[in-house]
């Protein structure tokens, strides 16, 4: 039996018919064909599938699609505007915070949420904030450097871009 | 996951009815444990009852008379960030903070942690040393019982057919009470407690311990209250010697097993080390300081 | 140190495909979604070793949505599924193909297999005992005997190194250290679980999209497994979500191709994280007994010992010379066994075998230094291979690369000059790796606007294509942003070997440089016509070709490229196809600073200096990133990682909660030191950089723990429990 749900993804409303056993991750990837969000473990341990659900980061592999009925979802595809990258995205590229790139979507979504809550985090706060996003390639040094750098840039005029997204 | 029916009751009555009608249904709150087990097909519920849209289920509030109320869908993250939880129920707030990642804590609930009844549940020792009670709704009305009695064994709780936990009530601590929780894990985060220890102490104005709670996680089928160790502290000044003695007794009270995470012997030793540290941390938290007052 | 005469090479250029990755646009293997696509899931053995009495697939076939169920019986003599014997937990028994993944999983559960469980060998030390269970029935093993003349079990391979007079050296030694070390199976734990999709086409060809480190290797392996011609297959490699050596080999590619041919529809097979642990290609564990002798002056005089590699069902052996490492040791007697155990055959994991052996070797050297009262840095400098020495890999060293790297690490870490507190300690360890090389290629074409398109068959594992673009930009004197690099599939480019063994940038970088030089020659030739000058009188600089000494007589690269389109010789292009090029070893040195909590045994890594002799860093930012990542993996093997098998040979930690890899709060910032003394064979002096970083970390932590609390932990990972046990043992002694 399927349920008809409505959810807003990156500002666009969608109506989807979902089986209860489909996760939000599966709805995004397989039904809405937004494959930027990755599945690394399916048990909530790696954070590759992180999205923002009603303002809070969640591992979308541990949320049922039906639970997200009526919700607002932001995925990696909704972080940049058409014109420009979000400062976190820009810094991840410029500072070498991406290697294989498979954890990157989750790291960026978590970092954007972290900076929305705490615009001036210490490196230790960034490390704690990204504890749920495993990265195997970088050893985290350049990821932390990138997020620190992005925070500095956001404090200046780019603020507007961040607050525009919910 | 095996296919299942999904219910999303809007009232307590509807929830009880759904659970009663489907005896093998499981309650879904945060889903961070349940969905993992369903994916592994360890749990195969034919129906799932989501309690997150019940009225006021995300209510986390504090009143001087009744204490702290934790609703059925209150997340670990809410407790972690709650200033009243941090200041008056340190062991509970610290326990919530240890769980998973921010993403997990945004979903995982305190009540789910208690209902899943893992011996390693990070919020359980704090709730138990604070004498928390679960409020249960069911076909025969409501009932309450202590968290300690509610957790029956690994994965087992006291819920009967049609029942679910509506909230947890934690009494307001007496003045000069402090509590703390810590766990041992090989990693800094994203881990399961090898051993967890929660402790609370209440001090008289002269610094005598008038009440003490010590609860040990992951060293028995349920979070275990170390009553003999507690009694060593009550009526005493908490000298390093007394604290070390209580910690040693607590390690004797533990009933650990050997598993993939650690041997029984190591767990027992960790109980001693961490109990000593947590009694000290709780008694520091119980000692009023200017900065803590200001907070 | 960046070379001031270079404009693009040596610069900190961000990944060219970075914007696509960070916006979620880059396609990874599991992102392939095709019309009418079916989903395959694998039924795996729950036992480490068993005979299959019967398989009943009737219920599974009847489930609505199931399209096909494949067992060995359906494979017509191929060996892609277990027929009579399952040899490890996770061994593939059947594949279900269904309309969606959930149905496939429902059907997997409906297959009934009757097993007769057999004894299993899960530990190499116990596995060689003459009365141990046979790991793989009918497998060919070596006839090796114990001291009583009884034949060892399960020894698939044996080798030895005997050199000098070991017994005499031990008799004359001033200090001898002997320890037994153990290391577990170690999983690469790339973040991307394997996924592949095959689409059989009318006419018999099959396209396969997969995550791999080399499309041609996958093509050969699938063709081999299915006994079909390679020409029937087109393998399209996608952006790879980490491999570290594991994705050199097949996962379920052959099964997907086979299922697609049978069903006539596209078939995707995704391997979940648990399956990755059960049936991946992790690094082998080992048991090592190592005895090392030295003289008073610190010179190492002899190494003697035995290593038993936990070799899985293949009984894979390792490189014995790694127990000697990058040191001059005159007397050697070593013996190595590849032992069959009921586990998947180990694969490559960054510098295969080197971290495990470095743990034993570097711990023993450290212990000798302490026994003799010599600084751990000095004992390494004393014995390090030097300029003019011949390495075990057979090359004569042109520089003091190792010694200089040790000195650079010591300087950065302020070795001997930092005030360490109680329970804090510092440890050093070294590693060496001679990078590989192999067939690769680069094809360059210039567009009319002067932009440059590069095509290569070399899979990009962490920035190779960006480095190739930098090299091409350097040669053609255009901005890096004007260069794009595309990865060709097996239908589009010639045979290209794996991106593995620190080969990619070294070999494909050389191809890029040579191809670009060819394009430059064409550019000058074409410009000569336009400028009416001899090519020899022209120079290419800043994107312009001009007559030497007459800068006003010039033409832009874009103009030349555009004009060439209508010339007799056609567009400006360049290409280079290369086979093997000679290589040198490179060296890595880690200095770890730790604090040990003596109560809980928790080891906190406070600081890590990772120095590496990289020849020249083509892109220092990417090189640092590889070093930091490799060092983190090694540190993690030291402190928390390892697959845990129970007595029945079942994996007890087949998920990312119980198989702990470091989280961000577990790691400090890793300080890298790039030692740049150019290597004559690599592009612009570069050496391969991917493998060396993973070698010394675990050993450096072991030596730091000793420095902090005076105990030596000899089993990986050095968990809190093992540290506490070592401290308890020391108290008893």
Q: Between chain B and chain C, how many beta carbons pairs sit less than 8 Å apart?
A: 49
Residues C463, A99: C-beta atoms closer than 8 Å? yes
Q: Are residues A91 and A74 in the same domain?
A: no
* DSSP symbol at C73: G
Of the candidates B184, B190, B260, the beta carbon closest to that of C663 is on: B190
Average pLDDT over residues A61-83: 96
A156 has pLDDT over 90: no
Considering chain C, what is the average pLDDT of its residues?
A: 97
- Whether residues A25 and A62 share a domain: the answer is yes
Residue of B nearest to A110 (CA): B103
CATH of residue A103's domain is 1.10.150.120
Nearest CB among A21, A67, A69 relative to B1 is that of: A21
pLDDT of residue A164 exceeding 90: no
Q: Are residues A71 and A92 in the same domain?
A: no
Lowest-confidence pick of B19-23, C381-385, C677-681: C677-681
100-139 in chain C: CB under 8 A from chain B = 102, 106, 109
Mean pLDDT value of segment C601-609: 98
Mean pLDDT of C137-146: 96
Q: Does residue C356 carry a pLDDT above 60? A: yes
Residue B142 has a pLDDT of: 97
Q: What is the 3-state secondary structure (H, E, C) of chain B?
A: CCCCEEECCCCHHHHHHHHHHCCCCEEECCCCCHHHHHHCCCCCCCEEEECCCCCCCCCEEEECCCEEEEECCCEHHHHHHCHHHHHHCHHHHHHHHHCCCHHHHHHCEHHHHHHHCCCCCCCHHHHHHCCCEEEEEECCEEEEEEHHHHEEECCEECCCCCCEEEEEEECCCCCCEEEEEEEECCCCCCCCCCEEEEEEEEECCCCEEEEEEEEEECCCCCCEECHHHHHHHCCCECCHHHHHHHHHHHHHHCCCCCCCCCCHHHHHHHHHHHHHHHHHHHHHHHCCCHHHHHC
Cα–Cα distance between C704 and C426 in angstroms, integer?
A: 4
Give yes or no: residues A107 and A148 share one domain.
yes
Whole-number Å distance between alpha carbons of C40 and C270: 7
Point out the domain boundary residue: A78, A108, A137. Answer: A78
Average pLDDT of the residues in A129-138 = 98
Could you read off the pLDDT of B54-82 as tens digits, one per residue?
999 999 999 999 999 999 999 999 999 99
pLDDT in tens, C532-580: 999 999 999 999 999 999 989 999 999 999 999 999 999 999 999 999 9
Task: Give tens-digit pLDDT for C42-55.
Answer: 999 999 999 999 99
CA B168 to chain centre: 10
Same domain? A135 vs A72: no
Going from the first residue of chain B to its last (295 residues), give the mean pLDDT of each consecutive group of 10, the final group possibly shorter: 97 97 97 97 97 96 96 98 97 98 98 98 98 97 98 97 97 97 95 97 96 98 98 97 98 96 97 98 87 42
Any idea what DSSP says for residue C493?
S
Question: What does the pLDDT look like over C82-114, one tens digit per residue?
Answer: 999 999 999 999 999 999 999 999 999 999 999
Contact B266 C644 (CB under 8 A): no
With contact defined as 3+ CB pairs under 8 Å, the chains touching A are: B, C
Examine the pLDDT at A160 and tell me if it is beyond 80.
no
Task: Label residue C202 exposed, middle or buried (CB < 10 Å: 0-12, 13-18, 19+).
Answer: exposed
Whether residues A137 and C669 touch (CB distance < 8 A) is answered with: no
Report chain B residues whose CB lies below 8 A from the CB of C184: none
Domain architecture of chain C: domains with CATH? 18-25+437-578 (3.30.365.10), 32-118+194-270 (3.90.1170.50), 285-435+583-732 (3.30.365.10)
Q: How far is CA C232 from CA C221, C262, C264, C338, C491, in A?
A: 13, 15, 15, 36, 10
Q: Which of A46, A76, A123 is nearest residue C24 as measured by Cβ atoms?
A: A76
Given this model, what pLDDT does residue C503 score?
A: 87
What residue ranges do the domains of chain B occupy?
A: 5-50, 60-170, 177-294
User: Residue C194 above 50 pLDDT?
Assistant: yes
Q: Which residue of chain C comes nearest to A140, CA vs CA?
A: C664
Question: Do C600 and B184 lie within an 8 Å CB cutoff?
Answer: yes
| Pairing outcome for strands C175-183 and B209-217 | unpaired
Note whether C22 contacts B: Cβ–Cβ < 8 A.
no
What does the pLDDT read at residue A165?
Answer: 39
Whether A166 has a pLDDT exceeding 60, the answer reads: no
A47 with B103: CB under 8 angstroms?
Answer: yes
- Chain-centroid distance, C-alpha B87: 17
A131 and A94 both lie in a single domain: yes
C-alpha gyration radius of chain C: 28
**Chain C residue numbers touching A145 (CB-CB < 8 A):** 669
Give, in order, the Cα–Cα distances in Å from C515 to each of A165, C76, C476, C535.
46, 46, 11, 18
Nearest-Cα distance to chain B for A154, in Å, is 22
pLDDT 10s digits, C286-316: 999 999 999 999 999 999 999 999 999 999 9
Q: Which residues of B touch C662 (CB under 8 A)?
A: 187
Q: C3: how many CB neighbours lie within 10 A of its CB? A: 13
Pick the closest to residue C645 from C654, C636, C655, C656 (CA basis): C654
For the domain B177-294, what is the CATH code?
3.30.390.50
In chain A, what are the helix, strand and coil shares in percent, each to the nearest 5? 40, 15, 45
Q: Give pLDDT, residue C689.
A: 94
- The span from the CA of C115 to the CA of C667, in Å, is 45
Is B60-170 assigned to CATH 3.30.450.70? no
From A139, which residue of chain C is nearest by alpha-carbon distance?
C629
Closest to C326 measured CA to CA, from C305, C350, C303: C303
**Section A76-80 average pLDDT:** 97
- Cβ within 8 Å, pair A58-B103: yes
Residue C1 is predicted with a pLDDT of 56
Rounded to 5°, angle at Cα C579 from C574 and C582 = 110
Contact B2 C644 (CB under 8 A): no
CB contact under 8 A, C600 and B273: yes
Q: How confident is the model at residue C521 (pLDDT cuts 50, 70, 90)?
A: very high
B153-170 burial code (b ≥16 CB/10 A, e <16): eebebbbeebbbbbbbbb
Total domains in the fold of chain A:
2
Residues of chain B with a CB closer than 8 angstroms to some CB in chain C:
1-3, 41, 184, 186-192, 260-263, 266, 269-270, 273-274, 277
Of B41, B186, B273, the CB nearest to C660: B186
Task: Let me know whether A92 and A123 are in one domain.
Answer: yes
Angle ∠(B76,B20,B158) on CA atoms, nearest 5: 50
**Per residue in B254-289, pLDDT tens?**
999 999 999 999 999 999 999 999 999 999 999 976
Nearest residue on chain B to A58, judged by CA atoms?
A: B103
| Tokens matching residue C393 | 């890999």
DSSP string, C287-351: EEEEEEEE-TTS-EEEEEEEEEEE-GGGT----GGGGT-SB--SEEEEEEEEE--SSPPP---SS
Residue A142 to residue A155: CA distance in whole angstroms = 20
Question: What would the two tokens of residue B172 be?
Answer: 């307001």
Residue C649 DSSP class: S
Residues of chain B positioned with their CB less than 8 A from the CB of A64: 6, 28, 31, 35
Are B101 and A47 an interchain contact pair (Cβ–Cβ within 8 Å)? yes
Do A152 and A106 have their domain in common? Answer: yes
Question: Nearest by CB to B104, which of A23, A42, A59?
Answer: A59
Among B8, B28, B103, beta carbon nearest to A132: B103
For helices B264-286 and B240-253, the axis angle rounded to 10 degrees is: 140
How would you class C161 by CB atoms within 10 Å of its CB: exposed for 0-12, middle for 13-18, buried for 19 or more? middle
Q: Which residues does chain C have within 8 Å of residue B186's beta carbon, measured at their own beta carbons?
A: 602, 639-640, 660, 719-720
For residue C25, which residues of chain A lie inside 8 Å, CB to CB? 36
Give the predicted TM-score (pTM) of the model.
0.96
Nearest to B262 among C640, C663, C721 (CB): C721
Q: Is there a single domain that holds both residue A7 and residue A74?
A: yes
Please compute the mean of the pLDDT values over residues C594-622 and round it to a whole number.
98
A130/C273 Cβ within 8 A: no
Query: Tokens at residue C580, please?
Result: 């093997």
Fold of B5-50: 3.30.43
Look up the CATH number of the domain holding residue A36.
Answer: 3.10.20.30
C276 as an active site residue: the answer is no
Residues C12, C15, C16: CA angle, nearest 5 degrees:
115
Residue A162 clears pLDDT 70, i.e. is over it? no
Measured between CA atoms, the residue of chain C closest to residue A88 is: C22
C602, B192: Cβ pair inside 8 Å? no
Q: Name every residue in B having a CB less than 8 A away from some CB of A.
A: 1-6, 8, 28, 31-32, 35-36, 38-39, 48, 50, 52, 77, 100-104, 106-107, 188-190
Range of weakest confidence among A148-162, C292-306, C387-401, C457-471: A148-162
Percent share of chain B, pLDDT over 70:
98
Give residue B175's pLDDT: 96
| Interface residues on A facing B, Cβ-Cβ cutoff 8 A | 1, 3, 19-21, 23, 42-45, 47, 50, 56-59, 62-64, 66-67, 69, 110, 113-114, 128-129, 131-134
Residue carrying structure tokens 């910032």: C669
Beta bridge partners of B6: B48
Q: Give the nearest partner residue to A101 out of C21, C193, C670, using CB atoms.
A: C21
Question: Which of C599, C636, C665 is the mutation pick for testing B, counting most B CBs within 10 A?
Answer: C599
The beta-carbon neighbor of A141 closest among C31, C241, C628 is: C628
Q: For residue C321, give the nearest of C369, C286, C345, C354 by alpha carbon.
A: C354
What SS3 class is residue C59?
helix
Whether A111 shows a pLDDT value over 80: the answer reads yes
Interface contact C102-A21, CB threshold 8 A:
yes
Q: Which residues form the domain of A17? A: 3-78
Is there a contact between A43 and C657 if contact means CB atoms under 8 Å apart? yes
Instruction: Output b/e per residue, C68-80; b: 16+ Cβ within 10 A.
Output: bbbbbebbeeeeb
- A24 contacts in chain B (CB < 8 Å): none
Give the end of a domain, one of A44, A78, A112. Answer: A78
Q: Considering the candidates C691, C715, C721, C732, report the single residue annotated as catalytic.
A: C691
Q: Which of A24, A48, A78 is the last residue of a domain?
A: A78
Is residue A66 domain-shared with residue A18, that is, in the same domain?
Answer: yes
**Cα–Cα dist C537/A162, whole Å:** 55
Q: State the maximum Cα–Cα separation within chain A, in Å, rounded to a whole number.
A: 51
Q: Which percentage of chain C shows pLDDT scores above 90?
A: 96
Task: Calculate how close chain A gets to B39, using CA atoms only, in Å.
Answer: 8
pLDDT score for C405: 98
C630 has pLDDT over 80: yes
Nearest-CA distance B47 → chain C (Å): 17
Using the beta-carbon criterion (under 8 Å), do A132 and B188 form an inter-chain contact?
no
Task: State the Cα–Cα distance between residues C605 and C430, nearest whole angstrom.
Answer: 18
């Amino acid at each position: 039996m399927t349920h008809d749900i409505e959810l807003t993804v990156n500002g666009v409303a969608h109506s989807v018919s979902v089986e209860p056993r489909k996760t939000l991750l599966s709805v995004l990837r397989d039904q809405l064909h937004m494959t930027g969000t990755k599945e690394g473990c399916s048990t909530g341990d790696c954070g590759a599938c992180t999205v923002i659900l009603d303002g809070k980061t969640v591992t979308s592999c541990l949320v049922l699609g039906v639970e997200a009925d009526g919700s607002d979802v932001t995925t990696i595809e909704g972080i940049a505007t058409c014109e420009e990258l979000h400062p976190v995205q820009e810094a991840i590229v410029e500072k070498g915070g991406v290697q294989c790139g498979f954890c990157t979507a989750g790291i960026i979504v978590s970092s954007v949420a972290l900076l929305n809550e705490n615009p001036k985090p210490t490196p230790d706060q960034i490390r704690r904030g990204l504890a749920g996003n495993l990265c195997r390639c970088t050893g985290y040094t350049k990821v932390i450097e990138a997020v620190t750098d992005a925070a500095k840039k956001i404090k200046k005029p780019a603020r507007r871009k961040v607050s525009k997204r919910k | 996951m095996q296919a299942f029916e999904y219910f999303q009751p809007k009232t307590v009555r509807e929830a009880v009815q759904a659970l009663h009608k489907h005896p093998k249904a499981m309650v879904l709150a945060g889903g961070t444990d349940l969905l993992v087990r369903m994916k592994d097909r360890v749990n195969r519920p034919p129906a799932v009852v989501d309690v997150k849209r019940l009225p006021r289920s995300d209510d986390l509030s504090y009143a001087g008379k009744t204490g702290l109320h934790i609703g059925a869908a209150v997340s670990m993250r809410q407790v972690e960030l709650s200033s009243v939880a941090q200041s008056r129920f340190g062991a509970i707030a610290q326990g919530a903070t240890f769980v998973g990642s921010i993403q997990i804590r945004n979903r995982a609930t305190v009540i789910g942690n208690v209902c899943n009844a893992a011996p390693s549940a990070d919020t359980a020792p704090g709730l138990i040393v604070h004498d928390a009670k679960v409020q249960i709704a069911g076909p025969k009305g409501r009932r309450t019982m202590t968290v300690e009695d509610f957790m029956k064994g690994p994965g087992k709780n006291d819920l009967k057919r049609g029942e679910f936990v509506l909230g947890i009530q934690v009494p307001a601590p007496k003045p000069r009470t402090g509590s703390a929780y810590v766990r041992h894990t090989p990693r800094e985060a994203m881990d399961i407690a090898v051993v967890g220890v929660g402790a609370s102490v209440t001090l008289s104005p002269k610094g005598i311990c008038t009440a003490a709670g010590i609860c040990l996680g992951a060293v028995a089928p349920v979070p275990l209250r170390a009553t003999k160790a507690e009694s060593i502290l009550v009526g005493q000044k908490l000298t390093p010697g007394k604290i070390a003695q209580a910690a040693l007794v607590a390690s004797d009270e533990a009933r650990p097993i050997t598993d993939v995470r650690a041997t029984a012997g190591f767990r027992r030793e960790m109980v001693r080390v961490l109990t000593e540290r947590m009694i000290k941390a709780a008694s520091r938290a119980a000692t009023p300081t200017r900065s803590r007052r200001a907070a | 140190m960046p070379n001031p005469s270079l404009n693009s090479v040596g610069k900190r250029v961000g990944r060219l495909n970075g914007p696509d990755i960070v916006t979620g646009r880059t396609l990874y293997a599991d992102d392939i979604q095709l019309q009418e696509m079916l989903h395959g899931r694998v039924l795996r053995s729950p036992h480490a070793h068993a005979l299959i009495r019967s398989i009943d697939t009737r219920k599974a076939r009847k489930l609505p949505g199931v399209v096909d169920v494949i067992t060995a019986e359906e494979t017509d003599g191929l060996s892609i599924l277990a027929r009579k014997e399952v040899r490890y937990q996770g061994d593939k028994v059947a594949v279900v193909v269904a309309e969606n993944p959930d149905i496939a999983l429902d059907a997997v559960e409906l297959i009934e297999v009757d097993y007769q469980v057999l004894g299993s060998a899960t530990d190499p030390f116990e596995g060689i005992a003459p009365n141990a269970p046979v790991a793989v029935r009918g497998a060919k093993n070596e006839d090796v005997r114990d001291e009583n003349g009884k034949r060892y079990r399960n020894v698939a391979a044996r080798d030895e190194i005997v050199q000098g007079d070991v017994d005499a050296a031990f008799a004359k030694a001033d200090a001898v250290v002997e320890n037994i070390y153990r290391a577990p199976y170690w999983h690469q734990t790339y973040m991307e679980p394997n996924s592949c999709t095959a689409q059989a086409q009318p006419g018999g060809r099959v396209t396969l999209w997969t995550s791999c480190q080399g499309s041609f290797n996958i093509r050969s392996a699938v063709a081999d497994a299915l006994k079909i011609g390679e020409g029937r297959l087109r393998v399209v490699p996608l952006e790879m979500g980490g491999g570290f050596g594991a994705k050199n080999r097949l996962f379920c590619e052959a099964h997907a191709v086979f299922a697609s041919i049978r069903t006539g529809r596209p078939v995707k097979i995704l391997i979940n994280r648990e399956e990755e642990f059960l049936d991946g290609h992790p690094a082998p564990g080992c048991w090592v007994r190592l005895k090392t002798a030295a003289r008073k002056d610190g010179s190492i005089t002899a190494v003697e010992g035995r290593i038993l590699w936990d070799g899985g069902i293949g009984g894979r052996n390792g490189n014995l010379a790694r127990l000697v490492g990058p040191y001059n040791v005159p007397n050697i007697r070593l013996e190595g066994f590849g032992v069959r155990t009921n586990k998947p055959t180990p694969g490559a994991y960054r510098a295969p075998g080197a971290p495990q052996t470095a743990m034993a070797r570097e711990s023993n050297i450290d212990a000798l230094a302490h026994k003799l009262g010599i600084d751990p840095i000095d004992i390494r400098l004393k014995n390090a291979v030097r300029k003019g020495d011949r390495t075990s890999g057979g090359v004569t060293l042109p520089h003091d690369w190792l010694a200089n790297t040790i000195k650079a690490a010591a300087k950065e870490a302020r070795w001997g000059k930092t005030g360490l507190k109680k329970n804090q300690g510092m440890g050093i360890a070294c590693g060496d790796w001679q990078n590989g090389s192999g067939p690769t290629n680069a094809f360059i074409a210039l567009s009319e606007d002067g932009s440059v398109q590069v095509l290569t068959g070399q899979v990009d594992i962490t920035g190779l294509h960006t480095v190739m673009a930098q090299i091409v930009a350097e040669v053609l004197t255009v901005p890096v942003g004007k260069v794009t690099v595309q990865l060709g599939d097996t239908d589009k480019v010639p045979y290209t070997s794996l991106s593995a063994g620190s080969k990619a940038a070294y070999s494909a970088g050389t191809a890029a440089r040579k191809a670009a030089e060819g394009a430059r020659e064409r550019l000058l030739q074409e410009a000569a016509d336009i400028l009416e000058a001899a090519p020899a009188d022209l120079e290419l600089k800043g994107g312009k070709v001009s007559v030497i000494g007459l800068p006003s007589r010039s033409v832009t690269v874009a103009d030349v490229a555009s004009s060439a389109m209508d010339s007799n010789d056609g567009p400006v292009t360049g290409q280079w196809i290369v086979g093997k090029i000679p290589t040198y070893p490179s060296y890595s040195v880690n200095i770890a600073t730790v604090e040990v909590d003596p109560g809980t045994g928790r080891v906190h890594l406070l600081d890590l200096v990772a120095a590496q002799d990289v020849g020249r860093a083509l892109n220092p930012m990417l090189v640092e990133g590889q070093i930091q990542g490799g060092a983190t993996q090694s540190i993690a093997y030291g402190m928390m990682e390892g697959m845990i098998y129970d007595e029945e040979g079942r994996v007890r930690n087949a998920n990312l909660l119980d198989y702990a890899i470091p989280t961000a709060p577990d790691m400090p910032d890793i300080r890298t030191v790039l030692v740049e003394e150019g290597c004559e064979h690599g592009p612009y002096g570069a050496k391969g950089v991917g493998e060396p970083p993973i070698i010394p970390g675990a050993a450096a932590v072991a030596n730091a723990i000793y420095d902090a609390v005076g105990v030596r932990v000899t089993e990986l990972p050095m968990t809190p429990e093992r540290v506490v046990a070592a401290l308890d043992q020391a108290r008893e002694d």
